[in-house]
Amino acid sequence: MHKLLILSKRADEYCGLVEAARLPQLSMCAATDPAALAAEAFASDLVFGDPSAVARVLPRLDGVRWVQATWAGVEPLLDPALRRDYILTNARGVFGPLMSEYVFGYMLAHERRIIEKYETQKERRWDPRHPGTLRGKRLGLIGVGTIGAALARTAKHFGMHVSGYTRASEDCPDVDVYFHGDDLTTFVSSLDYLVAIAPNTLATRGLVDARVLSHLPSSAVFINPGRGSIVDESALAEALANGRLAGAALDVFQAEPLAPESPLWTLPNVAITSHTAAISFPEDITPLFVANYRRLLAGEPLRYRVDFEQGY
C-alpha cells in the first residue's frame, strides 16, 4: 500500500482528479499549506505537488521514494542542501500548446500592430499603415524540448523558418537548421524573433548577454516565457532603451516579482506578464501522475525523471 501526499495550492482539485482515477493500493492526504500538514502526512512514500511547497517539507519526509512535480521547472528541489535520495519527475509534454498561445499571441500582436491600431482607434484616427506578417519570418528557439517542438510546429503553420539552438539533440522535424555550442551568435544574427525556452542550468544562466544581444538584428523581438535566469536583464534593458532591439515580451525574471524600480516596467517596447505564460492546470498534470503511478506498480521506469546534476 502506498501513501500519497498531495501538496499544492490547488490540492483539492488534484485530490479529486486522483480519486477519480481509482488507483489501486493508494491512500491519500492533501494540503494547500506545508505548515498545515498533519503528522501522519510525513509518513507518505509518494508526493505529488508544487516544488516550492514540497521543498519546505522534504527533510521531514523520511520514507519518500518518488516526488511528482506539478511544474516543468523544479528549481526549489535542486537546492544542493536538500536530499536527493528519491526519484524526482517533472511535468512535461503538456505546456507546449499554452506556450504557443503566449508566444504567437505576442508575435502576432507585433506583426499586426494590434496595440498601435487600438491607440489610433481611441483617437478616432484612420491608420492605413500596413501590418507585417509572420510568413517568411525567422524564428530562433533556445531550447528544443517538448515545448520548443510545439512552438516549431506552430511556426510552420504560419510559414516561418525555424532555427534551433540546443545542447546536442536534433530531433524535431519542424526545425530547419540547428546550432550548438559556440554557434550562438551566428544562430541569432539573422533572426526576426528569438524565444528562450531552455531549462535553468549552469550552462544556460546568463546565456543571452550583451554580446548575444548585440548580434541580434535591431528589428528583432526577444520573447522569454521560459526561465528568467537565461538573460542578463541589465543588458536587455539597455538594448531595448537604445533601439538595439525592436521589442520584448517577458514573462519570467531573475527575481520575482520584478522589482518596481526595474527599468523594464516603463520601456514602451516591452510587454510584461507575471509568470503566467503556461500555468499548471490540474486536469493537464494529473494524468502524468496517474500514468507514472501505474508504471510504478508495474515495476517500469518512471517517465520524465529529472537528473539532479543536469537540472532537468
Its pTM stands at 0.94
In the block, residue with C-alpha cell 519542424: 174
Strand pairing report for 177-179 and 270-272: unpaired
Residue 279 has what pLDDT?
Answer: 95
Render pLDDT for 10-68 as a digit per residue (tens, 0 to 9).
999 999 999 999 999 999 999 999 999 999 999 999 999 999 999 999 999 999 999 99
What mean pLDDT do residues 253-262 have? Answer: 97
Residues 6 or more apart whose CB falls under 8 angstroms from that of 36 comprise none
Q: Virtual CA dihedral for 183, 184, 185, 188, nearest 10 degrees?
A: 120
What region, left, alpha or beta, does residue 226 occupy, with left being phi > 0 and alpha being psi -120 to 50 degrees?
A: alpha
Please report the beta strands in the chain, taking only residues with DSSP state E, as ranges in sequence order. 2-7, 26-31, 46-49, 66-69, 87-89, 138-142, 161-165, 177-179, 193-196, 221-224, 247-250, 270-272
- 298 grid coordinates: 508495474
Render pLDDT for 66-110 as a digit per residue (tens, 0 to 9).
999 999 999 999 999 999 999 999 999 999 999 999 999 999 999
Mean pLDDT across the chain: 97
Residue 168 has what pLDDT?
Answer: 87
pLDDT band, very low/low/confident/very high, at 111 (cuts 50, 70, 90)? very high
Give the whole-angstrom CA distance, residue 18 versus residue 12: 10
Give the whole-angstrom CA distance, residue 19 versus residue 174: 38
pLDDT cut 90: percent of the chain above it = 98
Render pLDDT for 121-169 as a digit per residue (tens, 0 to 9).
999 999 999 999 999 999 999 999 999 999 999 999 999 999 999 998 8
Give the whole-angstrom CA distance, residue 130 versus residue 127: 9
Please report the beta strands in 180-258, taking only residues with DSSP state E, as ranges in sequence order. 193-196, 221-224, 247-250
Please report the beta strands in 202-269, taking only residues with DSSP state E, as ranges in sequence order. 221-224, 247-250
Single-letter amino acid code for the residue at 284:
D
Closest CA to 311 of 183, 98, 103, 145: 145
Closest CA to 61 of 44, 38, 83: 44
- Cis before 257 (ω within 30): yes
Task: Give the burial string for 50-76 (b: 16+ CB within 10 Å, else e).
Answer: bbbbbbebbeebeebebbbbbbbbbeb
Task: Give the burial string for 220-232 (b: 16+ CB within 10 Å, else e).
Answer: bbbbbbbbbbbbb
Residues 6 or more apart whose CB falls under 8 angstroms from that of 91 comprise 69, 70, 71, 72, 280, 284, 285, 288, 304
> Would you please indicate which residues are annotated as catalytic (active-site) residues?
227, 256, 275
Give the whole-angstrom CA distance, residue 30 versus residue 7: 6
